[in-house]
Structure 1
Amino acid sequence: MDMDLTAEHHSIPLSDGNSIPLIGLGTYGDPRTTPKRTAYESVKAAIEAGYRHLDGALVYFNEHEVGEAIRDKIADGSLKREDIFYCGKVFVEHIPSSELVRPALEKTLKALQLDYVDLYIIEMPTAFKPGDTFYPRDENGKYIYHETDLCATWEAMEACKDAGLVKSIGVSNFNKRQLELILNKPGLKHKPVSNQVECHPYYTQPKLHEYCKQKDIVIVGYSPLGTSRDASWVNLKCPPLLEDELLVSIAKKYNKSTAQVALRFNMQRGVVVIPKSFNPVRIKENFQIFDFSLSEAEMKAIEGLNKNIRFVELLMWSDHPEYPFHDDY
């Protein structure tokens, strides 16, 4: 990894000739508890702090706010559309049928009121029955799955790129077998440029990281600071990442926070980080990682923290035929 990264220039190349900024703002917030305008204010604060990469999704129910903030910052002359990198996602109920991919992307573009997104990814390899609800269940509360043809879905993604609605296409939560399925697809037109997966010092993804490096696929790390401690969906076998003694001692040395050390660690490995925050102070703080760098010994020590335990297991879908986390990687 070339470490001449600055707040102004921290993009790395993608295999299709485009590039991606190494840090972005995650915009997920529980739609039931997040006050209106929170996403708008956060995205505005992030752009003002220097962020140029925003990670969102139709299923976050706030893309209209994210788009409005981007457009307002373009309108006030802060930046041009091409200065911003926006990643959107096609969700699991839109992927059983490849016909649903483009309409889902068009909904995202309509919500954002933008002509294109920079990266569009398949959020999970697991498909659900298409319909009006995002997570359909039967009368017994069991999720209703759908046979997935990931190759047909990928062809629909390629068509969106060919139509100019998206600059780059990628995936999320895919394991090696699922990536190979697409890479070995007969008639492949566009390779996935990225795979968005959980990645932080307690879950460093060494094997997947190595495999993706070989295949020229950039890893985008979600939950780069660990996660909330919400037991309803988070595996609490691991202690809170940001209280780790090693991270605390390295942070002291550089007069930084443990969050900044964790983010810098991934960035130096060439892993894109998308910390989510709706707190303006933390949004700013998470971006202030360009004025120090970790030594090789410190990088090795942090790599040694890997516990191979996921915080985000999504166990409620573990009986899905395409559930990605049964495999070693």
Structure 2
Amino acid sequence: MDTTLTLNNGVQMPALGLGVFQSPPDETAAAVRRALEVGYRLIDTAAIYGNERQVGEGLRASGVDRDEVFLETKVWVSDYGTEQTLHAWEKAVRKLGVDHLDLLILHTPAPTRFERTVEAYRSLQTLLEQGKVRAIGVSNFMPHHLADLMAQTDVPPALNQVELHPFFTQPAVQQADAQHDILDQAWSPIGGITFYPGYDNDLTNALEDHTVVGIGRKHGKSAAQVMLRWHLQRGRSAIPKSVNPGRIAENFDVFDFELTDAELDALDALDTGRRGGPDPDGDRAELFDRPIPEA
């Protein structure tokens, strides 16, 4: 299986990457360095995570050439708007210590302020035209958000980063993305987001699910490895998060086995339709007023 995916503008990106959501800043640099030493070449961060600077530190410490690493980050809603989003790019590259981004994403559709979402995306288009980013995308966009955005802009998103795991597969989102050749990227690829801040739920622990564990036993792989392999064979990108060196290596060790069609279907069938993270149509006003620091 090819370890890379081609975006709708022809840019190639690694299928599997390291996510740093909730990674403490003082542990992020070491995690990124470890990931790059293991073989990862895709790192995902975001302005609101507060660890872009440490991602850049980890990249430089790894000794891996910048051009070999696909860096993606996300613009937070408090920086939505024409000039604000252009400045958000400046803040991101300054913190990361790079001169361009491989992928820049809008973090959420901001439905009650969608005019600013559109302005922000038009600024992403400007950055793309200027060669300051290689691709642009969105995160947490539902089909109606995509339709509204694309009706008012010129460049289809290359990628939509959403909650996606065996217990929440979002078929309508996947279908809408496929219609526009938008790549699905899972920000919660192994599911069971019981840790999501402010969301006290009783979701199944994906790492203990008997179907997932049973499939892993047949292949001599962990439950996490089974779910990551499922994403890759379904043609998606996945960005598992960890700061544990052993788990970082384990999550990347998924290219030496293949799930059968029956196993893929069994994992698909685990979908409960229950979201673990925030509803993209919600609007928690306090988050929109959270400023992103300059450095």
Q: TM-score, normalised by structure 2?
A: 0.91
Aligned ranges 1:73-84 → 2 under 5 Å: 73=62, 76=63, 79-84=64-69
Separation in 1, partners of 2:114, 2:184? 27
Partner of 1:20: 13
State, as a whole percentage, how many aligned pairs show the same letter.
34
The equivalent residue for 1:50 is 39
CA distance in 2, matches of 1:315, 1:178: 9
1:229 CA displacement: 2.6
Which stretch shifts more, 17-26 or 281-290? 17-26
- CA contact 1:201–1:302 (8 Å) conserved in 2: yes
Give the aligned length.
286
1:230-268 superposed Cα distances (whole Å, 9 cap, x missing partner):
375235232111111100100100010000001111111
Contact 1:227 1:234 in 2 (8 A): no
- Residues 35, 231 of structure 1: alpha-carbon distance in 2 compared, 3 angstrom cutoff: closer
1:114 aligns with 2:103: no
The answer to whether 1:233 aligns with 2:198 is yes
Structure possessing the higher radius of gyration over alpha carbons: 1
Q: Is the 8 A contact 2:141 2:160 kept in 1?
A: yes
- Please state how far the C-alpha of 1:68 moved relative to its aligned partner: 1.5
- State how 1:142-157 maps to structure 2 within 5 Å: 146=113, 148-157=115-124
Q: Tell me how far apart the structure 2 counterparts of residues 319 and 65 of structure 1 sit (CA, whole Å).
A: 28
Deviation (angstroms), 1:17 = 1.1
Q: For residues 35 and 123 of structure 1, do their structure 2 counterparts lie closer, same or farther at Cα, with a shift above 3 Å needed?
A: closer
Residue 77 (structure 2) aligns with: 92
Q: Which residue, out of 274, 281, 291, partners 2:246?
A: 281
1:104 paired with 2:88, answer yes
Gaps of 5+ in 1: 128-144, 321-329
Secondary structure (helix, strand or coil) at the match of 1:70 reads helix
Structure 1 stretches of 4+ with a deviation exceeding 4 A read none
Whole-angstrom CA distance in 2 between matches of 1:35 and 1:171: 24
2:25, 2:54 within 8 Å by CA — same for their partners in 1?
A: no
Q: Show CA shifts across 1:57-95 (max 9, x none).
A: 12211111110221233xx3xx33221001110001111
Per-residue CA deviations over 1:171-228 (Å, capped at 9, x if unaligned) read 0011111111222226x1x221000000000011212112211210000101111245
Matched residue type, 2:122: E
Judging changes above 3 Å, is the alpha-carbon distance between structure 1 residues 255 and 71 closer, same or farther for their aligned structure 2 residues? same
Aligned pair partner of 1:298 in 255, 263, 287: 263
Q: CA deviation at 1:287?
A: 0.4
**1:248 has 2:239 as partner:** no
Task: Read off the aligned partner of 2:123 and give its amino acid letter.
Answer: A
Equivalent position SS for 1:100: helix
Give the conservation status (yes or no) of the 8 Å contact 1:235–1:312. no
Q: Which residue of the partner structure matches residue 184 of structure 2?
A: 219
- Pairwise CA RMSD: 2.1
Q: Which runs of 5+ in 2 are unaligned?
A: 286-295
Residue aligning to 2:224? 259
Distance change in 2, residues 1:313/1:266 (3 Å):
same
